[in-house]
Amino acid sequence: MINKKVNNVQEALVGVKSGMTLMLGGFGLCGIPENAIAELVNLNVRGLTCISNNAGVDDFGLGLLLQNKQIKKMISSYVGENDEFERQMLSGELEVELTPQGTLAEKCRAAQAGFPAFYTPAGYGTEVAEGKETRAFNGKMYVLEPAFKADFAFVKAWKGDAAGNLVFKGTARNFNPNMCGAATITVVEVEELVEVGELDPNTIHVPGIFVQRIFQGTDYEKRIEQRTVRQKH
């Protein structure tokens, strides 16, 4: 067993520097690496390029880095829930590369899987395809999209072990597995770090080979963005 375990978030983020490109898992606030984000605020690294489907809300998730003006550029598919984000973007303080959600996921997966680029139909004929190579296959047009290149990937899993094997819960899975191994260093925080051997190899979602560092996360808030319920009859 190759041991990936580090003792805490401080050790996990050793080497993170200003100007780096970071991947962060999560969909909205679901499955975001809360501990890593808090530590990025702490480290006060600046000029970051962040690859994340969303940009958090004003006072949580990546919104915390935005408030602190640590982000130079965001690569996201949907940023609708964050007023500060919209303000910085419309004023030109923040560079934003809006990317179709499936393309965003595949750019992560391509980086993980060793593909330099891929063709997708998404965005053909729109401003997303401007300046990009296009090509017809079987009479339909596709856009060439390059894989991402990132320095760190910050991932949140439900359970994991020191070997780096991961299991996710519910829709908190989202982009997290696709970002594992898609950056130079993949850092995973887990709700529950279990003993090696405890996870059934049949049920592991991400094998440890894609993970460089793993640590037991603490104090998860797991904030709900839209609490929707139905009434009991």
- 204 lies in the site for another protein, by CB under 8 A: no
In the complex with another protein, which residue's Cβ is closer, 46 or 223?
223
- 151 lies in the site for another protein, by CB under 8 A: no
Instruction: Name the phi and psi angles at 59, rounded to 5.
Output: -120, 20
Rounded CA separation 213/168 (Å): 17
- 118 lies in the site for another protein, by CB under 8 A: no
Check: CB of residue 221 under 8 Å from CB of residue 17. no
Cα 182 to chain centroid, rounded: 10
Residue in 114, 127, 138, 200 binding another protein, rule: CB under 8 A: 127
Residue in 20, 86, 151, 194 binding another protein, rule: CB under 8 A: 86
The footprint of another protein on this chain (CB under 8 A) covers a number of residues equal to: 59
In whole angstroms, the minimum distance from the beta carbon of 81 to another protein comes to 7
In whole angstroms, the minimum distance from the beta carbon of 10 to another protein comes to 26
- 49 lies in the site for another protein, by CB under 8 A: no
**38-45 long-range contacts, CB within 8 A, separation 24+:** 38/9, 38/64, 39/9, 39/10, 39/12, 39/13, 40/13, 40/16, 40/65, 40/70, 41/65, 41/68, 41/70, 43/13, 43/16, 44/68, 44/70, 45/16, 45/17, 45/18, 45/20, 45/70
Tokens of 101: 């959600």
Check: CB of residue 167 under 8 Å from CB of residue 203. yes
- 168 lies in the site for another protein, by CB under 8 A: yes
Scanning 12-20, 41-49, 63-71, 168-176 for contacts with another protein by CB under 8 A, the matching segment is 168-176
How many residues comprise the chain? Answer: 233
Q: Which residue has the tokens 């580090």?
A: 6
Contact map string, positions 52 to 81, toward another protein, x by CB under 8 A: -x----------------------xxxxxx
In whole angstroms, the minimum distance from the beta carbon of 173 to another protein comes to 5
Residue in 12, 105, 150, 162 binding another protein, rule: CB under 8 A: 105
Cα 169 to chain centroid, rounded: 16
In the complex with another protein, which residue's Cβ is closer, 14 or 90?
90
Rounded CA separation 203/165 (Å): 10
In whole angstroms, the minimum distance from the beta carbon of 180 to another protein comes to 10
In the complex with another protein, which residue's Cβ is closer, 42 or 134?
134
Interface positions with another protein (CB under 8 A): 27-31, 53, 76-81, 86, 89-90, 96, 98, 100-106, 108-109, 120-128, 158, 168-178, 205, 222-232
